[in-house]
Structure 1
Amino acid sequence: MKVSFIGLGVMGMGMALNLSKGEGEGHYEFIACDPNEQALEQFKNKGLKTTTNILDTTDSDYIFLCLPNLDIVKTVVLGENGLLKHLKPGQSIVDFSTISYLGAMEIAEACKADGIEFLDCPISGQQSKSLDGTLSLMCGGSEDIFNTIKPLLDRMGSQVIYMGNNGAGQLTKMINNCALNICVASFSELLPVGVKLGLDPEKLGDVLMTATGSSFASKALIPKILEGNFEHGFSLGRAYKDMESMYEVLIKSEIPLPTLSGTMQSYQLALQSGHRDDYKHAMVKFYEDMLDVRVRKEGF
């Protein structure tokens, strides 16, 4: 069996390194692919096969992708020099990229017409989890293929869940991301209000990280707000695109979600204020400016 991995970025690098361990154990042949030669060095140093040309992966039984956005996934899979033109029935593409539900459905239908299985398996977790193989994977597509490749997926994630037919993985990821974005918007709006009315920002932050209003988002991001750390990890602009993708589905299905709609407006305010490339919790800066306060602990 031969497997390949295309896309060795922030998340893909760790995932591919964990997947490549199967070759060393004699389970399958492995090839790493990325247009950036520097990204391939770790694999070359391990004696693994590498390439900068995606067409060198087309003899693989399973081709794994971890790419930045829908346009790039479409180019790699469906483009003029894409994978699909060179694959044969029975091969499978497994996409870890975060793309839209409708986009995943479009790609899956095109692949299925040529006898190729396409599984959408978006991931959740930070870079450290990609390196230690403890990501969460939400998979949509053929259940038979999922069961076949689950041992491969288990090398990259500690929580690997089959969610249903094509698109189910991306829909699950979209819902998760929207829930996270709603949490971020809530404390980004409320923290400056508390400070404006005289509360100590660090003490208020401690409460929102530990009391009934706490969440994964508050525990992960309020410390960064208190220290003024808004470095780009998952930008506010990209977070907004996740909600756009969800909104497309809601419009098509005629489903109203007022809380999500309100959250999108909060993100729009922050985007219009020039915070597109900051991490998503930078929306607090819009409300800080509006109320003329700073949510920072002493010394920051």
Structure 2
Amino acid sequence: MRFGFVGLGQMGAPMAINLAHDHDVLVYDQNASAIAKVERYGAKRADKLDQFSDVDVLITCLPAAKIVDSALFDSNTGLAQHLKPNAVVVDTSTIEYGATLEIRDRLQTAGLRFLDAPVSGMQKRAEDGSLTMMVGGDASDLAEVQGALSTMASKILHMGDAGAGQLTKLVNQLLFDINAAALAEILPLSVKLGIDPEQVAEVVNSGTGRSYASEFFVPNILQGDFSKGYPMQAAYKDLISGSEISARHNFPTPVLAAATATYQQALLEGHGDKDKGGMILVFERLLGTDFRATTFKEHKA
């Protein structure tokens, strides 16, 4: 079985590398240096788009629905027109549910099969192949490619029909976003009231306030480092999706709405290039304080 892989960014590159350890992988990305990096681990560069006519499974890992749509269906550069009949397209991107269903329909019309398979775990777990993958689509299609997908994800869950993978990922992401917004709001209070942020961090990450968000972001916030996670501007699509679903189905989501407002304020203040830990900058500005180890120690000295 031969694989194509499109999208060699922060997550896609290590995923493609892990896949190439055990499989024949043809890769493409607009970034030539990203391709060169993955080539060093055994993947092969696609010089022409029609080379994808030899792949049995095409995996995409791209930052937005419109980019997935273009990569597959653009009249000049879209790959769907080059794939062999009945090939499987596995989209590991995180995109909107409605867009996922539209992609499924267009691929089916073209005689191609589709699995939506977004992943969770951030870059480190992409590198060590321990991602969680949530898959929507036909169970028999998943069974056909599951062995290969297991080189990238240690946990693969079949969630239901096409789109169910994206919906499950969205649930996970919204909880993550809410946790990050809560940290941003509450942590600066501790410094404003005179408590050592390093000790607060130790309590939070060893106590009942602990979450994956706190474990990941709080140590970085203490150092003023907001570059370790996915940029807020790129991740904002999850909150848009959550709001759309809430509005369409009349689901009340007051906590999500509050977290979204914090997220939006951070974007308006120009922090979109920072990871979600950067939301704390909003409340640090409002309270006139910093949740930093060095700042606190200098102030006490």
Tell me, what secondary structure is at the counterpart of 2:75?
coil
1:8 maps to 8
SS in structure 2 opposite 1:218? helix
Q: How does 1:1-300 map to 2 (within 5 A)?
A: 1-23=1-23, 29-45=24-40, 48-81=43-76, 82-231=78-227, 233-298=229-294
**C-alpha offsets along residues 153-209 of structure 1, whole Å, 9 cap, x if unaligned?**
111111111111111111111111110010011111001112212222111121111
- The CA deviation at 1:123 is 1.0
C-alpha displacement at 1:88, in angstroms? 4.2
- Segments of 5+ residues of structure 1 without an aligned counterpart are 24-28
Structure 1 Cα separation of the partners of residues 45 and 213 of structure 2: 37
CA deviation string 1:244-287 (max 9, x = no partner): 12222222222121111111011112112221111111111111
Structure 2: gaps of 5 or more residues: 297-301
Q: Residue 161 of structure 1: SS of its match in structure 2?
A: strand
Alignment-mate amino acid for residue 221 of structure 1:
F
TM superposition shift of 1:52: 4.4
State whether residues 49 and 82 of structure 2, in contact with CA within 8 Å, keep that contact through their aligned partners in structure 1: no
1: CA distance between counterparts of 2:176 and 2:105? Answer: 30
CA distance in structure 1 between the partners assigned to 2:157 and 2:54 by the alignment: 27
CA distance, structure 2, for counterparts of residue 52 and residue 124 of structure 1: 31
Task: Find the residue that maps to 1:170 and give its secondary structure.
Answer: helix
Give the Cα separation in 1 of the matches to 2:127 and 2:278. Answer: 26
Contact 1:119–1:140 under 8 Å retained in 2 = yes
Alpha-carbon contact 1:119-1:139 (below 8 Å) kept = yes
Question: SS of 1:298's equivalent?
Answer: helix
Distance 1:46 1:255, change over 3 A: closer
Paired residues, number:
295
Give the residue type in structure 2 aligned to 1:71: K
Does the CA-based 8 Å contact 2:52-2:82 persist in structure 1? Answer: no
> Partner of 2:299 in structure 1?
none
Contact 1:181 1:263 in 2 (8 A): yes
User: C-alpha distance in 2, partners of 1:44/1:86?
Assistant: 22
For the residue of structure 2 that corresponds to 1:32, the secondary structure is strand
Residues 194 and 204 in structure 1, CA contact (< 8 A), matched pair in contact too: yes
Matched residue type, 1:18? N
1:26 match: none
1:47: how far off? Answer: 5.7
Distance 1:286 1:182 in 2: 15
Tell me how far apart the structure 2 counterparts of residues 157 and 167 of structure 1 sit (CA, whole Å): 19
Question: Cα distance, 1:239 vs. partner?
Answer: 2.9
Contact 2:95 2:237 in 1 (8 A): no
Tell me how far apart the structure 1 counterparts of residues 271 and 228 of structure 2 sit (CA, whole Å): 10
Q: Name the % identity.
A: 38
Cα distance, 1:39 vs. partner? 2.3
Distance 2:132 2:267 in 1: 29
CA–CA distance in structure 2, aligned partners of residues 35 and 187 of structure 1: 36
Quick one: structure 1 residues 180 and 116, their matched pair in 2 at CA, closer, same or farther if it must change by over 3 Å? Answer: same
Tell whether the 8 Å contact from 1:236 to 1:281 is kept in structure 2 after alignment.
no
For the 8 Å contact 2:20–2:41, the answer to whether it is kept is no
Using structure 1 for the length normalisation, give the TM-score.
Answer: 0.92
**Bigger mean CA deviation after superposition, 84-93 or 129-138:** 84-93
Find the residue that maps to 1:214 and give its secondary structure: coil
Task: Output the CA distance in 2 between the equivalents of 1:58 and 1:203.
Answer: 57
* Residues 205 and 215, structure 2, Cα contact 8 Å, conserved in 1: yes
Separation (CA, whole Å) in 2 of partners of 1:50 and 1:294: 47
Code of the aligned partner of 2:160: G
The amino acid that maps onto 1:242 is: D
1:6/1:54 contact within 8 Å kept:
no
The separation in 2 between residues aligned to 1:154 and 1:259, in whole angstroms, is: 35
Cα drift, residue 46 of structure 1: 5.4
